[in-house]
Amino acid sequence: MKQDRAYMLLGLAKRAGRISAGEFMTEKAVKGGKSALCIVAGDASDNTKKNFKDMCNYYDVDYVEYGDKDGLGHATGTQMRASVSVNDEGFAAKIKEIITEQEK
């Protein structure tokens, strides 16, 4: 099984205390100006995706849809998560780069 580099970096960011996982904590980080990147699971509801996309657009935070709820939860050491906020510029830039590279 191929290791997913984006999930691996999310796990590292979690251990470094640089992420907020779950819809409530992600929203709090985005609105509080702490978030550098908002990741929403591809299998999240359309309403959740729209809410986070609009919120990130308003607060000028990078937004990507990636993976699934189970994968995001596993990467952050929790149960299923629909959204994750990366609260560190360095981690956010590298994770976004990896996700963009994988989509090509």
Return the CATH number at 67: 3.30.1330.30
In the prediction, which pLDDT does 3 show? 57
19-21: strand order across its sheet: 19-21, 83-86, 37-40, 62-65
In the prediction, which pLDDT does 4 show? 87
pLDDT band at 1 (very low <50, low <70, confident <90, very high): very low
Quick: pLDDT tens for 35-51: 999 999 999 999 999 99
Q: List all residues 6 or more positions away from 98 whose beta carbon is below 8 Å from its beta carbon.
A: 5, 6, 9
In the prediction, which pLDDT does 104 show? 74
Give the Cα separation of 83 and 85 in Å (integer).
7
Range of the domain at 61: 5-103
Quick: pLDDT tens for 26-85: 999 999 999 999 999 999 999 999 999 999 999 999 999 999 999 999 999 999 999 999
pTM, entire model: 0.93
Quick: pLDDT tens for 18-28: 999 999 999 99
Domains identified in the chain, total number? 1
